[in-house]
Amino acid sequence: MNQVLRQEKKYQITAADVPILCARLGRVMMQDGHNGPLGYRVRSLYFDTPDDGDFYDKLDGLELRRKIRLRVYNPNDRFAMLEMKQKQGEYQKKRSLRLAREDAARLTQGDYRPLLRYDEPFAAECYGLMCWRCYRPRTVVEYRRTAFIARENRIRVTVDRQVAANEADYDVFSPNLPLSPVLDPFSAVLEVKYNGFLLGYIRSLLNTADRSELSVSKYYLARSVSLHV
């Protein structure tokens, strides 16, 4: 199991600012090894309770809340990452567990028994919680990400665009998953993640982009279309 505890800030920026901001960040930060000319693909299946408890906890702005998701980066991958993000005041705690493709596929069908085969306590915690609260697959969200890293304070800056979703097909390994846009194509999501404080030179670069703070997540964007909120 991997665990990180950090602050996260989200902003909406214009698509026109994306290449300019990425060029500037690339001159002072390390590029993620997976970055290509168009970034890399991220696809996540989010789980929620029958009454969409996690979604409404976010909508209501609760200080203590969680999200559970299954994440892949390529439909041909032989593994997926089961992740739980928990909001704790100013900080986000993220824990993750690598699952075999076959086990991940069973989770997409609402069968969580494969988690019992893993020795990590986090696997048992996810199994107990997802069964107790009757978690079910809710939506798949996909986007293109470009990421930059600074070792100081474990800073990570990401730019996500082409955000799209599907609430009918939960096969994260499908090479032809139908998706519908859930974010204005002329916009992108800027996320800044760090421990302690954000270094001044990075803050100055981010201030050059025309941005507005975004209080919602990509999961919220995807679900709000069907839940009409």
Q: Which residues contact 109 (CB under 8 A, 6 or more apart)?
A: 137, 170
- Digitized pLDDT (tens) for each residue of the chain, 229 residues in all: 899 889 999 999 999 999 999 999 999 999 998 998 889 999 999 999 999 999 999 888 888 899 999 999 999 999 999 999 998 878 899 999 999 999 999 999 999 999 999 999 999 999 999 999 999 999 999 999 999 999 887 899 999 999 999 999 999 999 999 999 999 999 999 999 998 888 999 999 999 888 888 877 899 999 987 776 6
Q: Give domain 2-227's CATH superfamily.
A: VTC, catalytic tunnel domain (3.20.100.30)
The answer to whether 75 touches 45, Cβ cutoff 8 Å, is no
Domain boundaries, the chain: 2-227
Quickly list H helices, 41-195: 53-59, 101-107, 121-132
Q: How far apart are CA 140 and CA 178, in angstroms?
A: 10
Rounded CA-CA distance 176/221 in Å is 22
pTM for the structure as a whole:
0.94
d(CA 74, CA 128) in angstroms, rounded, equals: 28
> CB neighbours (10 Å) of residue 66?
16
